[in-house]
Structure 1
């Protein structure tokens, strides 16, 4: 499995802890997992440098749900979004604190190369990272 970025790894772990199976940081082969949830991490966007030397900003995490049936993809995606928005934040991981999360709303993302249905959303994470 490809390693996650710090924030994506924390989100993947949170999904697993919330009862979701088949969570990966890169699309697995269908032989490995036919119906995965794939998380991917965007770049850190600094919004402020804090007095203590930390930086506050955001990291967008893409969450993509793949299912054989369109309705199952929608249901699993909506459940994952709802679970993550209601999860116990903040959490700390490797010098990064995920203070809060929001999302841009789940929606269809078409089909993959195998014809499976894709639904996804962006989890917008407010993070504080320790630098220096």
Structure 2
């Protein structure tokens, strides 16, 4: 499985990377702009990501804009909704508006609040059929 983590906080990024390495190949970026660029490169190379963990608050481009850009790219390429990359938004805020924006307007699959509860993350991974390698 190919996994992309977009997280500007070093501790959160490192924890996610170490945990998710058991599930597949993990790439990391530190802002939304880099995440979109790496996502597009993966599509161009015909090696798309199956999972993206995307922080909402990041420099350069926030996670909500990155999410919308990624979903727009998938739609323009004719990617069916059932084969889209699974995107889990992460946030240190439990803001109803941010969560609703991510779900209803931009198309994320799930969200987790920080600090990330690894049991909840494991449950999400199982929900989408991802298992340790």
Category of TM-score, reference length = shorter chain: 0.3 to 0.5
TM value normalised by structure 2 = 0.33
TM value normalised by structure 1 = 0.33
Greater Rg over alpha carbons, structure:
1
Kindly indicate which of the two structures has a greater share of residues assigned to helix: 2
Kindly indicate which of the two structures has a greater share of residues assigned to strand: 1
